[in-house]
Structure 1
Amino acid sequence: MQQTGVPGHKSQPMDELLSEGFASHVNDLLRTWHVPGLSIAVFNKQSTRTAAFGHARLDHPVPATLDTVYDMASTSKSFTAAAIGKLVADDDHHPNVAWTAKMSVLLPDDFVLPDAYATQHTTVEDILSHLTGMPGHDLSYMSIRAAQPDTAQSVTQSLRHLPMNAPLRTAYQYNNMMYTVATHLVETLTEQSFASFLHKNFFRPLGMTSTFLQPSAVYATGEAYSSRLAHRHVWKPATQSYLTLPIPVEQPEGQGAGSIQSSVVDFAKWGQALLRRDTNILPEKIYDDLFTPRIILDPESTVDEREPFTSYELYCLGLSVRFYRGHRIIEHDGSITGVQSLLCFLPEDDFGMVICGNGDNAAIIAHILAMQLFDDVLSIPEPGRVDWGRRAVEVTERGAREAAEEGAESKGDADARYNATDWPLSAFTGMFVHPGYKTIIIDIVPSSRKSSDEGDQEQEKLHIDALDRSEPFEAFFEGLRDVRDDEEAEKWEVEKGNAVICTADIVDDGGEVLSVWAVFDFRGKGISEGEGERARRVGIALCVSKGNMLIWFDRGKR
């Protein structure tokens, strides 16, 4: 454990971070939840205390420290919203930029949605509060590993090809792409890179010398900084070991939604600026705008489903708000495979924290610690406190049960391990194209390549290699069966007897598996290509947050 700090006037929780009891508690949590390392900073308006536990890297063990640099993932969104706020406040240079300004006016050539009304009326505020009516299409854009990588501009231009599933401003749908669109707006209007804008307006004024946009910027500073980058880790229960993902994710096509690399020491400086509403960084009015709720995240949740003594959660601009025992919490978390982060603060109680960990369950630990420290700040008596550790176990176990039930239901009538169709696997292979999701190639691989723990009865499976995506994945198709039911044919908008339905196991870079529906359409007796016939198109539920919404790829030519 490494600790440092300067005493603050909220002495109890500030000092708690330096106690042996706290260190023992955190180390127990790291073992319980299988997270290699964790760094934490707690702060008030004047001072900060920090501590670190465990390891930043496991291959050649490196301790986690106060200066370990983590991928902050979606906690970066608070900077993106603030960057737009900087333009909103600058009437001299950007008089046309306002929260209510139309995106199609600010970016007339690039910002086009598939719906004309939404195109004309979507505002800056809408894209930052996830109210555009477009779900997250995170698997649609291409990384720097692709033959044609995406950029902030190309991500913006691709919106016109991606399906919406709700009218403008009628539903909260988390959308990372819109935050990248926001950075394209910043770059277009200021004629500088988003990284340069952040350094000039935020990182340098706040003294955030260990904060960068993209891992490549960390490496460019030399070994003194790059050696501090935390590796990402995923715990594999089957082998009781960690899968190490050593390279932080380089995602210029995802800037604004994430990609800031920082330490808890540095990110606490940003937290303090938000807490004290630092007018050297942003005008007072912009802080009001950033902290104002726009939409309820969980309107259908019941009291029992929400956390004890906690209100609905509301999304603002790059931050969310909830109330705990009547006290306002402003926060945002972040997560990519193998690393997670949390920024949260109690503005009326002058207390906040930044927590980063390099494991897939780090967010659970961060939440446990945050709520326990909030209870300390609010002087909640012991008999009335929630056992946040036990509650985390209960919530996790319930989530696992529900996921298992949903997975079993998604398998449908057929056993997912064998096929029930007369079509040969070759009828499903080839190149398929979608204007927004680009190109996929379906090939045939041995079953042994499937990255799951289930047994296999087939010798071969249909497969997609999409490891060049911004969120890399592979897909393995299972349980192919003919569509013979009128109701099922109507549901998927295919012809009975001329389509095949199956599940596609989406396997991410950490080996996690998500089963989704896929439908192969042979309408019109397929397309002749050499011998036999092949599927005309394939629909896959790649917009994974929206269940059965298929993305239809048409057969193309290599």
Structure 2
Amino acid sequence: MLRVLSLSVFAVWVAFGADRARADDVFEAHLEEVAASGDVVGMAVAVVRGGETAFLKTYGAREIGAPAPVDERTRFRIASLSKGFAATLAAQLIEEKGLSLEDKAVDFAPALRLKGTGQTSAATLEYVLSHRLGLPPYAYDNLLEAGIDPDVILRRFGEVDQICRVGACYAYQNVGFNIVEAAVAAAEGKPFAASMAERLIVPLGMTDTTLGMEGLKVDDNWARPHRRRRGQAWRETPVRQPYYDVPAAGGVNTTITDMAVWLASQMGHAPHVVSDEMRALMHEPRVHTPAEVRRLPRESRVTRAHYGLGWRIYDYAGHRVIAHSGSVEGYSAQIAFLPDRDVGIVLLTNSRSREFWRIMPAFLDQELGL
């Protein structure tokens, strides 16, 4: 009887392995198709399963028309995926009592002004990390892109009509979110970049991860950004400084190899830089984001969308997904994982295309058998 049972279990295991291999082959074929379509210039993809890098592959070129390929150590800008790094630093300091979610944002960023009686003092670190400052979406990003100093912009927020009272609604921010930079620096007594290196980059062994434009170009193995207009060919576009001026919101450069390590850590695997309690704190839904449901590919699968602390949380076909996306001139990035399946994906590209954004939901569908 035991032998029969063992053989049955083995048969199921073999069948599962065969199904897994077939699904992986289908997914890899899809990636090859996207890469060959001309819809991306360069791309890098990693899948983490059970804390291990189960798949890592690169496609295309660092620069259009040039022979150098994207490889596993090619640096990309990851734009708003940087927010997860900043939130993790804040979570570490919250656990150590160096920061509190109830801390007033203005204590770290004295330039901050919000319109309305009591609104400036009502803004807390929690509201910064969860985009609940009451400002319109992307408030004064146009000034940031024009080269205006972020502290000047924080002061000018006082001229902006609030769309709700502080804490009452969600609206995505970059300059406002970057108050986290000042909070970390104040708690640590050192620059944000130094804390990032000491607390995250070095412990995780993410040796190719950097901050700022100089960090992007520290050697020649970096992906040049590209753009194209409708019906035209891809063209290289300059790397611009503005979003590097808000490093907590968009300042990180990294590689697909390093991002696989980062993903495993956020999924709760070694190397551990944040406790399970603090991961839960970051990944806890804090504010409803209904517009995300309508914006996502395969939106019919997404029944609820929320923001936590530097991370998005989706209900995708009845499964919890922790995710974030990022986009800055000529670059796009995505990260997502299914906690109940212990599997996740990271995607990086040096171009912006519709096909790229469809890869992540296709991966989720594959993992969930949809």
- Interval containing the TM-score (normalised by the shorter chain): 0.7 to 0.9
Q: Please give the secondary structure, in 2, of the residue aligned with 1:177.
A: coil
Verify: 1:39 aligned to 2:44, yes or no: yes
Aligned position for 1:272: 264
2 CA distance for matches of 1:133 and 1:202?
31
Q: Which structure has the bigger radius of gyration?
A: 1
Which of 222, 231, 236 lines up with 2:224 in the alignment? 231
Aligned position for 2:73: 67
Q: Which structure has greater strand proportion?
A: 1
Q: How many residues align?
A: 352
Aligned position for 1:242: 234
Structure 2, unpaired ranges of 5+: 1-15
Deviation at 1:279, TM superposition (A): 8.2
After TM superposition, list the pairs within 5 Å mapping 1:421-432 onto structure 2. none
Aligned position for 1:436: none
Q: Please give the secondary structure, in 2, of the residue aligned with 1:60.
A: coil
Q: Please give the secondary structure, in 1, of the residue aligned with 2:335.
A: strand
The code of the aligned residue for 2:364 comes to F
Q: Deviations over 1:266-310 (max 9, x none)?
A: 011111111016584122221111011111111696899972232
Deviation at 1:250, TM superposition (A): 6.2
Which of 300, 312, 334 lines up with 1:320 in the alignment? 312
Aligned position for 2:290: 298
1 CA distance for matches of 2:93 and 2:24?
40
1 CA distance for matches of 2:297 and 2:364?
20
Aligned position for 1:124: 125
The code of the aligned residue for 2:230 comes to P
Deviation at 1:219, TM superposition (A): 3.2
Which of 97, 100, 107 lines up with 1:98 in the alignment? 100
Cα distance change, pair 67–14 in 1 and its aligned pair in 2 (3 A)? farther
1 CA distance for matches of 2:291 and 2:333?
25
Contact 2:207 2:258 in 1 (8 A): yes
Please provide the CA RMSD for this pair: 2.8
Aligned position for 1:465: none
Q: Please give the secondary structure, in 2, of the residue aligned with 1:199.
A: helix
Structure possessing the higher relative contact order (Cα contacts under 8 Å, 6 or more residues apart): 2
Contact 2:57 2:72 in 1 (8 A): yes
Deviation at 1:101, TM superposition (A): 2.3
Aligned position for 1:507: none
Contact 1:321 1:330 in 2 (8 A): yes
TM-score by length of 1: 0.58
Contact 1:338 1:358 in 2 (8 A): yes
Q: Which structure has greater helix proportion?
A: 2
Aligned position for 1:150: 149
Contact 1:98 1:124 in 2 (8 A): yes
The code of the aligned residue for 1:233 comes to H
Cα distance change, pair 355–302 in 1 and its aligned pair in 2 (3 A)? closer
Which of 19, 25, 35 lines up with 2:30 in the alignment? 25
Aligned position for 2:300: 308
Cα distance change, pair 12–75 in 1 and its aligned pair in 2 (3 A)? farther
Which of 320, 344, 347 lines up with 2:339 in the alignment? 347
1 CA distance for matches of 2:364 and 2:296?
21
1 CA distance for matches of 2:312 and 2:325?
9
After TM superposition, list the pairs within 5 Å mapping 1:161-172 onto structure 2. 161-172=159-170
Q: Please give the secondary structure, in 1, of the residue aligned with 2:101.
A: coil
Q: Please give the secondary structure, in 1, of the residue aligned with 2:320.
A: strand
Contact 1:129 1:316 in 2 (8 A): yes
Which of 208, 211, 229 lines up with 1:210 in the alignment? 208
Deviation at 1:118, TM superposition (A): 1.3
Does 39-48 or 280-289 show the bigger shift?
280-289
Aligned position for 1:51: 57
Aligned position for 1:139: 142
Verify: 1:368 aligned to 2:358, yes or no: yes
Deviation at 1:23, TM superposition (A): 4.6
Deviation at 1:331, TM superposition (A): 0.1
The code of the aligned residue for 1:150 comes to D
Contact 1:142 1:150 in 2 (8 A): no
Aligned position for 2:13: none
Verify: 1:286 aligned to 2:283, yes or no: no
The code of the aligned residue for 2:149 comes to D
Cα distance change, pair 251–308 in 1 and its aligned pair in 2 (3 A)? closer
Cα distance change, pair 336–295 in 1 and its aligned pair in 2 (3 A)? same
Deviation at 1:200, TM superposition (A): 0.4
Deviation at 1:205, TM superposition (A): 0.4
Q: Deviations over 1:389-417 (max 9, x none)?
A: xxxxxxxxxxxxxxxxxxxxxxxxxxxxx
Q: Please give the secondary structure, in 2, of the residue aligned with 1:120.
A: helix
Deviation at 1:12, TM superposition (A): 7.0
State the identity %. 22
Contact 1:99 1:125 in 2 (8 A): yes
The code of the aligned residue for 1:60 comes to A
Contact 1:13 1:373 in 2 (8 A): no
Deviation at 1:88, TM superposition (A): 0.9
Cα distance change, pair 40–205 in 1 and its aligned pair in 2 (3 A)? same
